[in-house]
Amino acid sequence: MDGAAILERLRGRFGGDVVETHDHRGDHTAVVTRGALPRLLAHCHDERPLAFDVLMDLTAVDYLTYPGREDGPRFEVVYHLYSLAHNHRLRVKVRVDEDDAVVPSAVDLWPIADWFEREVWDMFGVRFSGHPDLRRLLLYEEFIGHPLRKDYPIDRRQPLIGPTV
């Protein structure tokens, strides 16, 4: 199925929950509401014509200082899906505010989402509800803050963790 047809199918199925779609040089993107995200991801994963069996990447973007997006929801969580059976791809985005930065976990659909979501929590401070073990992945527990947030000072020094840890 080509990208335009995938987006058409999602719009038909989820209606207003698909907030926005666009494509850029053959990469198709659907921006969806947080409420519909679990159903939409499950649909992408389970339906035979879509069969997105690989979660290539799960990451986030901080739009705090992005020109034109300063007032909107601060974070965007991005899912890159790929289907081995059909060799097609889809990008799904969901927008969340800073004071309510929680997204439903996708671990049940793709086990690899476990570490991806831990990394997003580590770097951006976005939480994933339903995640089995949401700890920092790359940094250590004593680390203060989330370094890929745009308001994280680039020269901040963290307290060194002691030798007995």
Partner 1 sequence: MGVGSFFTSKLDEAIGWARKYSIFQYPFVTACCGMEYMATACSHYDIDRFGAGLPRFSPRQADVLFVVGTISHKLAPVLKRVYDQMTEPKWVVAFGVCTCTGGFYDNYATVQGIDTIIPVDVYIPGCPPRPESVIDGLMKLQDKIAAQAQRY
Q: How far is the CB of 137 from partner 1 (least distance, A)?
A: 11
Q: Should residue 66 be labelled a site residue for partner 1 when binding is judged by CB under 8 A? A: no
Residues 24, 48, 135, 156: which binds partner 1 (CB under 8 A)? 156
**DSSP 8-state class, residue 63:** -
Q: Should residue 154 be labelled a site residue for partner 1 when binding is judged by CB under 8 A? A: yes
Of the pair 39, 136, the CB lying nearest partner 1 is at 136
Of the pair 42, 161, the CB lying nearest partner 1 is at 161
For residue 120, give the nearest of 77, 84, 159, 91 by alpha carbon.
Answer: 77
Alpha carbons 75 and 94: distance in angstroms, whole number:
8
Site for partner 1 in 118-147 (CB under 8 A): 138-140, 143, 147
Max Cα-Cα span within the chain:
58
Q: Should residue 64 be labelled a site residue for partner 1 when binding is judged by CB under 8 A? A: no
Q: Should residue 152 be labelled a site residue for partner 1 when binding is judged by CB under 8 A? A: yes
Residues in contact with partner 1, counted by CB under 8 A, come to a total of: 17
- DSSP E strand boundaries for the chain: 18-24, 27-32, 54-62, 75-83, 88-96, 102-104, 127-129
Q: How far is the CB of 144 from partner 1 (least distance, A)?
A: 10
Q: How far is the CB of 56 from partner 1 (least distance, A)?
A: 24
How many Cβ atoms from other residues are within 10 Å of residue 159's Cβ? Answer: 8
Q: Should residue 68 be labelled a site residue for partner 1 when binding is judged by CB under 8 A? A: no
Q: How far is the CB of 57 from partner 1 (least distance, A)?
A: 21
User: 165 burial class (0-12, 13-18, 19+ CB within 10 angstroms)?
Assistant: exposed
Residue pair 63/74 in contact by the 8 Å Cβ criterion: yes
Q: Using CB under 8 A, list all residues that contact partner 1.
A: 138-140, 143, 147, 152, 154-158, 160-165
